[in-house]
Amino acid sequence: MIVSFPNMGPNWVAFKTFFETMGAEVIVPEPTNRNTIKFGVKHSPEFVCFPFKATIGDFKNALERGADTLVMAIDCGPCRFGFYASVQERILRDLGYKDFRLIPLDQADLLEFKWVKVLFDVSPSKSVSMYSKALKAVIMLLKKAKLLEDIQTAEGLFRAYERTQGDTTHVVNDLLQQLDQTNSLSGLRKFRPIIKNTFANMDIDRTRNPLRVGISGEIHISLEPYVNIDLRKKLGEMGVEIHQSISLYDWVMHKLHVNFHRKWYEHLAKPYVPIDIGGECRWVLGEYIDKANAGFDGFVHEYPFTCMPEVVARTIITNKLKKMYDMPIIYFSFDEQSGVEGMRTRLEAFVDLMHSRRNQDVKTNKVKLVNNQKQYGHYGNNFCHECIELIQPK
């Protein structure tokens, strides 16, 4: 059995460990590229959401490289995502790819433990030892996912301070390689200090006081750099601090009902959208409010073109929240036609806007920059706080 799965940025590291620990052979999806998208666009329904097109392309690549088992998350409404696996399977089979299994990973509520079945499905041996293996696989997945989240957090902060453009990107890539090689629990336990130290050793300019921007939106678009045209990196290289709380770990924790900051967002969003309507709608709303309260300079909302829940979120932010909280926001809806140039121009204008507002606020003493000390209030998780220590002026 040779397992593969769709791309979602660096999260292949976590998925790979998961299936390998179960004893399966894994084909890591080849990084999403032009041909992946071309295939997806050609064979998918015309105006299905973009992640559908990208992930079916990933599947085709994997099948051609010899995968025979594809794993895809599903849920059961209310959005389109639950249909992905089935329709994709149908399309692939109609195209003549016959010898594969598509295993749906039911993520609707992880505490219902339907996903355990997947473990049994991908595990070659069906003996008792499987249980301990399965347990280990889950732990490895969670640990790596958490570490990936930490890398993402640090990356967002440090890129705004690097003296040589590209340093952060190198550091991140190195760390990903290292994390991929680390496959013991004891190794993973030591990994967090490694992340911290690697970033601490970067050549950074602590006297800067960059703009601070929150990013949120649909999860696949937010995590896969090819489909969002590497938005985070582009914005970071314009000297902006990026705070993105969406990650695989964040999502899994949420589905295990132990994600407290998401619960906080839900609480904030409740007056505007009281129920889960799919996608990230209510969390985007909550996060917009939360970041506005924490004094952020701006917010980026990214989602696939015509994505239903995010379009609702956008409507509510534009018509209501933006007027209440007055934090600048820029929307990016991505599909196969999105181009780098248009994005760059819009981002530059957005950054200019935020700068002039910041200057205004400094003049009127709304923002005080004492000694370039950066203030975050109660914002962020523990690791984020540790990183913030590293970027404060000495």
Partner 1 sequence: MEVSGGAPKSKVKVGIPRALHFYRYFPFWKKLLEELGAEIVLSTPTSKKIVEEGVQMGFGELCIPMKVFYGHVLHLIENHPDLDYLFVPRYVAEDKDAYFCPKFLSLPDVIRILPNVPKMLNFEVNVKEFPISQSVIELGKQLGVGQSRALESYKTAKEYFKEYQDFLRKGVPVNHALRLVQRDLPFTVPKKKSKGDIKFLLLGHGYNVCDTYINLDFQKKLRDQGIEVITIENLPESLFKVPVIVNKRLRNYWRHEEEIMQAIRYYLTKGRDEIDGVIFLISFACGPDSLISELIMRDMKVVGIPFLDIIMDEHSGEAGLLTRIESFTEMIRRKKRKLEMDAKKKVKSKIKSEV
Stretch that binds partner 1, among 125-133, 155-163, 174-182, 305-313 (CB under 8 A): 305-313
φ and ψ of 281, to 5 deg: -45, -60
Helix (H) or strand (E) holding 233, with range, is helix 231-237
Instruction: Tell me which of 141, 281, 327, 391 binds partner 1, using CB under 8 A.
Output: 281
Pair 313, 284: CB distance under 8 Å: yes
Q: How many Å apart are CA 350 and CA 367, to the nearest integer? A: 19
Give 85 or 202: the residue with its C-beta nearer to partner 1. 85
Min dist CB 357 to ligand SF4, Å, is 31
Give 20 or 121: the residue with its C-beta nearer to partner 1. 121
Give 28 or 108: the residue with its C-beta nearer to ligand SF4. 108
CB count, 10 Å around CB of 294? Answer: 17
Give 17 or 247: the residue with its C-beta nearer to ligand SF4. 247
Instruction: Tell me which of 2, 130, 138, 311 binds partner 1, using CB under 8 A.
Output: 311
Secondary structure (DSSP) of 269-298: HTTT--S--STTHHHHHHHHHHHHHTT-SE
Pair 184, 20: CB distance under 8 Å: no
Q: Which residues bind ligand SF4 (CB under 6 A)?
A: 49, 51, 79-81, 218, 278-279, 304, 307-310
**Cis link prior to 104 (omega < 30° from 0)?**
no
Min dist CB 78 to partner 1, Å, is 4
Instruction: Tell me which of 312, 327, 347, 387 binds partner 1, using CB under 8 A.
Output: 312
Cβ-Cβ contacts under 8 Å for 260 (sequence gap 6 or more): none
Helix (H) or strand (E) holding 342, with range, is helix 340-363
Min dist CB 280 to ligand SF4, Å, is 7
Orientation angle between helical segments 191-200 and 129-158, nearest 10 degrees: 20
Cβ-Cβ contacts under 8 Å for 348 (sequence gap 6 or more): 238
Stretch that binds partner 1, among 135-143, 243-251, 273-281, 343-351 (CB under 8 A): 273-281
Give 171 or 285: the residue with its C-beta nearer to ligand SF4. 285
Window 38-97: residues binding partner 1 (CB under 8 A) = 44-49, 74, 76-80, 82-83, 85-87, 89-91, 94
Min dist CB 314 to ligand SF4, Å, is 12
Task: Categorise residue 371: left if φ over 0, alpha if ψ from -120 to 50, beta otherwise.
Answer: left
Taking the CA atoms of the chain, what radius of gyration do you get in angstroms?
21
Give 200 or 308: the residue with its C-beta nearer to partner 1. 308
Q: Residue 85 binds which one of ligand SF4, partner 1, none, with CB within 5 to 8 A depending on kind?
A: partner 1
* Interface positions with partner 1 (CB under 8 A): 44-49, 74, 76-80, 82-83, 85-87, 89-91, 94, 104, 272-275, 277-279, 281, 305-309, 311-312, 314-316, 318-320, 333
